[in-house]
Amino acid sequence: MRVGKTISSYLSLIKFSHTVFALPFAMIGYFLAVKITGNIFDIKKLLLILLCMIFARSAAMAFNRYIDIDFDRKNPRTTTREIPSGIISMKAASIFVIISSVAFITVTYFINPICLYLSPVALAVVLGYSFTKRFTALCHVILGIGLSLAPIGAYVAVTGRFDWLPLFFSFAVLFWVSGFDIIYALQDEQFDKSQNLYSIPAWLGLRNALILSKIFHAITIFFIIYAGATSSFGIIYWFGAGFFILLLIYQHTLVRPNDLSKVNMAFATTNGIASIIFATFAIIDLLLQK
């Protein structure tokens, strides 16, 4: 019973359910690489990629909670999180970050040399994001860059090289994540100002922040369309892209500057569903291609 509760606490600490944001795009990168190179489906390589995603994200989220402890204690919205509430100690969280980081780099060793060489860079990006809210309102973009490594990282894990098509998906993820993270940050506009923290809502205000979020998501739509138009994707891909775009637009109908009651639905639920649906259709399209 205690073991189960401990596992549940750590999964909550790292918001494991939010893995649905970037993981589906990593799967697109993997199957795209298999298709382009003509490689045989390799379950071992796929599992290694999944482990990389899990360990890197776990390290990043736990590190974010660790260094933000003082702010989380002051913010009424975050006082019940695992560290400020005492469910997980600071020492336990720091050990978890170290173990996850070492595990991530270790797994890249079993993939290929380029992934191993680039693993410290990737780790620096995803961990470094947590500091950015202290000095730049572009922290949302840094988070987007971190998650955008998923499709190109999975592609490089299979091919050992960089190509433009998976990078288009990475650009889509970058602006998609940046856009919905701005929506999430709307909740803390006043708190961020009171603590001298940087965010787009604290800098531009709620209304203008929502406008910038829409612009970022328009750029996302461009890259989703461009990736499909410049490759051999078929009708199934476009059905998935259509669902993704509609859900992207729908989330902006849920949030208003004077009504933030549906922020979590717009941020987590809508984007999670959009990512899974789009990746499913894109992967099916790739698998059915001759």
- Of the pLDDT bands very low, low, confident and very high (cuts 50, 70, 90), residue 246 is very high
Domain carrying residue 189? 10-288
Residue 2 in domain: no
Residue 171 maps to a domain: yes
- Taking a C-beta distance cutoff of 8 angstroms, is the pair 136, 101 a contact? no
Spell 12-40 as b/e; 16+ CB within 10 A means b.
Answer: ebbbbebbbbbbbbbbbbbbbbbbbeeee
- What whole-number distance in Å separates Cα of residue 54 and Cα of residue 11? 11
176 to each of 124, 160, 180, 230, how far by Cα in Å? 21, 26, 6, 20
Considering the domain boundaries, does residue 5 fall inside one?
Answer: no
- Tens digits of residue pLDDT in 154-179: 999 999 999 999 999 999 999 999 99
Average pLDDT (145-159) is: 95
- How far apart are the C-alpha atoms of 248 and 180, rounded to whole Å? 9
Asked if residue 189 is part of any domain, the answer here is yes
Closest CA to 140 of 152, 149, 128, 132: 132
* 3-state SS class at 112: coil
Dihedrals φ, ψ of 259, to 5°? -150, 100
Cβ atoms of 214 and 179 closer than 8 Å: yes
267 against 61, higher pLDDT: 61
* Residue 1 maps to a domain: no
The tens digit of pLDDT for each residue in 66-117 reads 999 999 999 999 999 889 998 999 999 999 999 999 999 999 999 999 999 9
Structure tokens at 96: 């978890």
Q: What is the DSSP letter of 17?
A: G
Exposure of 131 in the CB half-sphere (CA atoms within 13 A): 5
Count how many domains the chain has.
1
Q: CATH code at 65?
A: 1.10.357.140
The per-residue pLDDT for range 170-219, each reduced to its tens digit, is: 999 999 999 999 999 999 999 999 999 999 999 999 999 999 999 999 99
Kindly report the backbone phi and psi dihedral angles of residue 40, in degrees, each rounded to the nearest multiple of 5, phi listed first: -75, 140
DSSP notation for 170-200: HHHHHHHHHHHHHHHHGGGHHHHHHTT---H
Which residue matches tokens 């913010």?
Answer: 75
**Angle value at C-alpha 119, between 113 and 122, nearest 5 degrees:** 140
Gap between the Cα atoms of 268 and 180, Å rounded: 9
